[in-house]
A and B are shown apart, each in its own frame.
Chain A
Amino acid sequence: MYRYDEFDNEMVSARVAQFRDQVERRLSGELTEDQFKPLRLMNGVYLQLHAYMLRVAIPYGTLSSRQMRMLAHIARKYDRGYGHFTTRQNIQYNWVALERIPDLLEEIASVEMHAIQTSGNCIRNVTADQYAGAIDEEIEDPRIISEIIRQWSSFHPEFSFLPRKFKIAVTGHKNDRAAIKLHDIGIVITRNGEGEVGYEVHVGGGQGRTPFIAKKMTDFVPRNKLLAYLEAVMRVYNMLGRRDNSYKARIKILVHETGADEMRRLIEAEFAKIDASNMLTLPDKEAQRIMAYFAPPAYETALATSDILQAAQSANKDFTHWCATNVVSHSQTGYAIVNISLKPIGGIPGDATDTQMEAIADCAATYSHDEIRVTHEQNLVLPHVRLDDVKAVYDALVPHDLATPNLGLISDSIACPGLDYCNLANARSIPLAQDISTRFADLHRQHDIGELKIKISGCINACGHHHVGHIGILGVDKKGTEFYQITLGGAADENASLGDITGPAFTEDKVVDAIENLVDTYMNIRTSADERFIDTYRRVGMPPFKERLYAD
């Protein structure tokens, strides 16, 4: 894992001291709320419905057990005993008091964490494939370039006041688990004909009220030129992005209105200028230095199969189901990737208590080379577990309700905080996720249904990624009452697509029935158990689903 150097430490400490002073000046009345609001937002502090919310950055979703323990401590000492893992692989605390936030920030700085650039019109936390450095057939660990991008983008003076917020995601694998095509910039690590590692760059993806799939701008940028290329993209956006209308200020609108070809030409022209200056050419020595932080852990030599694992599976059906759903092959012989579902049946997607966080930290320290990952689907991962230890991990997770075998199934939904917390929301998201999870509580039924990604947003800002849910649900407000609009056919993976609206929205008491109708329709018309919901939808389209949904 990356460790802070002297510059990181100095930068974070200085920011904590600065924010402490700003909070004191606000509380004393020296600063008005209008003056203070942009300052608190630059430090990840929002005002929600009931309290302040603090968003803490987890760069590319990687945590050590020490950091996870600190997150648990923060939940217990400064919040109400839990935290909420988000779709940007961050964590949010929903009940922090403003006057205590400087102390909180000082505590997380001691484990190399901060809340800088988790809000505001700047480059946000870079996200990456949660299986980075652990999955087979990966071209390169995406955290290497993500860390380089983090360093380049942190406090970048030219890009601290962009037209709108800016999000970057990176994958090093052909299977996209980072939703790169739904980001302002999506990066796919690739190789050219000579076998050199470089980057395919997509620009202009995003969700919100005007969703777009990103357009590919280039097939290959060499490693040492990527920052120059990104700087060119940012410079074009900063110059031409709209500042007169916040709804049209994201780069996706610029790409759409300018056209992909013209956008590509503008970026290439800017890139040529920056490249000629040679100022942003990444020195190989620096790339190697960062790469060393992400070197594979000291794996033990092990067999491809484990007698211990096989014996445990023979003796315990629940464990076998969990292995089949939540455990993934590792690139290292004798190891596995273990997914920890934060979606217990009827639970709140992405929430973890202080006790759960500590249990996961213990597992990571004992069984996963001290590493934990956060996924954009609001789950956690132990990336490097010996096959011999998988049962021990399961046994440690079960008492904490962390071993639900539902990864990728209907109860593994994404849900934004919604109207239970969020100042922008029109409707609640979490209770709906809980109701759907409870309706489909039978895990055999869930497994029979197969992969089905439900994503729920409480407003058109789409923090719950509803546009790219196989089934998407959008909460809307009609005269102060909650309604829910349904979309079908969205996907966030390498075959990214945006969902289609089924028709009129449903009232709160009808929406779970509507979801069940959609699932029943799918089960009736799928060609085999191997045809996923999204495959069936792509084969037959909207008509049979719509017919059933609005039959009455």
Chain B
Amino acid sequence: MAQHASKHAAFQALTANRLLDGEVVYFTESGTWVEDFAAALVVESAKAQDLLTRATSGDYEAHIIEPYLFEVADGVPVSVREIIRAKGPTIHSHFTKPFSDKSV
């Protein structure tokens, strides 16, 4: 599996899959998990582990699985993998998810 974040990453966000249906979700500033990447909380890498700890404790973790941090730059995920997770498969245009980067 591809690395989610390089050690040189300046900014990171937190993602997981939803327990019920496996849908990709992102952790927000208000402590919820949402489908839209644009709502994801992006933090400096120095604070990323604290974010992971907060999000995977107590109720926050109850309805999600396999949370992890990934690198974000210029308001979008850096890796192809995370772009595909945010936008949906590239091979079915009708399965493409609404996507807006965080810089907009």
Contacts and interface: CB of A to CB of B under 8 A. Distances in A.
Contact of B91 (A47, A98, A348): A348
Contacts of A99: 20-21
Contacts of A47: 17, 22, 65-66
B22 A419 contact: no
A12 B24 CA distance: 32
A30 to B, nearest CB: 12
Interface stretch (B26-34, B41-49, B75-83): B75-83
Interface stretch (A118-126, A328-336, A476-484): A476-484
Given A29-B62, A420-B90, A481-B80, A49 B85 contact: yes
B81 A49 contact: yes
Contact of A33 (B20, B65, B84, B85): B65
Contacts, number: 76
B2 interface: yes
Given A47-B65, A480-B81, A98 B21 contact: yes
A50 B1 contact: no
Given A29-B62, A419-B84, A480-B80, A48 B22 contact: yes
B2 A434 contact: no
A99 B3 CA distance: 30
A430 B89 CA distance: 10
A26 B91 CA distance: 32
B2 A426 contact: yes
Contact of A50 (B20, B62, B80, B85): B85
Contact of B90 (A431, A479, A480): A431
Contacts of A18: none
Contacts of A51: 17, 21-23
A24 to B, nearest CB: 12
Contacts of A480: 2-3, 71, 78-81
Contacts of B88: 50
Interface string A43-64: 0000111111000000000000
A428 B1 contact: no
B19 interface: yes
Given A33-B66, A428-B90, A97 B81 contact: no
A423 interface: yes
A104 to B, nearest CB: 13
B44 to A, nearest CB: 19
A77 interface: no
Of the candidates B2, B65, B85, B92, the one having the most CB atoms from chain A within 10 angstroms of its own CB is: B2
A242 B72 CA distance: 39
Nearest to A48: B22
A420 B22 contact: no
Nearest to A37: B65
Nearest to B77: A480
Interface string A82-106: 0000000000000001110000000
A463 to B, nearest CB: 14
A525 interface: no
A35 to B, nearest CB: 12
A426 B3 CA distance: 9
Interface string A418-451: 0111011111101100100000000000000000
Nearest to B85: A49
Interface of B: 1-3, 6, 17, 19-24, 62, 65-66, 71, 78-81, 84-85, 88-92, 95
19 contacts: A27-B20, A29-B62, A33-B66, A47-B22, A50-B22, A50-B89, A51-B17, A51-B21, A52-B22, A97-B21, A98-B19, A98-B20, A420-B89, A425-B1, A427-B80, A430-B91, A477-B3, A480-B3, A480-B79
